[in-house]
């Protein structure tokens, strides 16, 4: 008999997040709805994103508190969309996160995670 896998604890936060498809140069802005060590739910400010489950996405966020193994500080994360709604909410599962150097943020050239 299979046991259910417990979900990571989620923390409701209203913090900014930036996102893009890995092949895009332009970052879009959105707002985090909730965050866990395994992923993020965010709401795109302009409505539907056109993301489908399985779509790779990169996000930049700065958790103000440690959430499980997800540390505080500005990070860039490679993720995969697991759910998207018609209202513009996107749930993405983190695959890899690393700290974003301030120099990269100033130049707006976040590293590509591949």
- CATH 1.20.1050.10 corresponds to the domain 11-107: no
Alpha-carbon distance of 75 to 98, in angstroms, equals 5
For the chain, the structural domain boundaries read 11-107
Instruction: Give the global pTM.
Output: 0.81
DSSP annotation of 108: T
Helix (H, G, I), strand (E, B) or coil at 85: coil
How confident is the prediction along the chain (114 residues), in pLDDT tens digits per residue?
A: 666 656 778 889 999 999 999 999 999 999 999 999 999 999 976 666 688 999 999 999 999 988 888 888 999 999 999 999 888 899 999 999 999 876 455 445 555 555
**How far from chain centre, in Å, is Cα 103?**
21
Alpha-carbon distance of 85 to 90, in angstroms, equals 7
């Amino acid at each position: 008999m299979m046991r259910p896998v417990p979900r990571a604890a989620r923390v409701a936060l209203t913090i900014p997040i930036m996102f893009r498809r890995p092949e895009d140069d332009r970052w879009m802005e959105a707002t985090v709805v909730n965050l866990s060590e395994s992923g993020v739910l965010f709401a795109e400010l302009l409505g539907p994103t056109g993301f489908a489950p399985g779509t790779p996405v990169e996000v930049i966020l700065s958790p103000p508190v440690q959430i499980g193994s997800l540390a505080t500080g500005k990070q860039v994360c490679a993720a995969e969309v697991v759910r998207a709604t018609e209202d513009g909410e996107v749930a993405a599962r983190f695959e890899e996160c690393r700290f974003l150097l301030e120099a990269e943020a100033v130049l707006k050239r976040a590293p590509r995670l591949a």
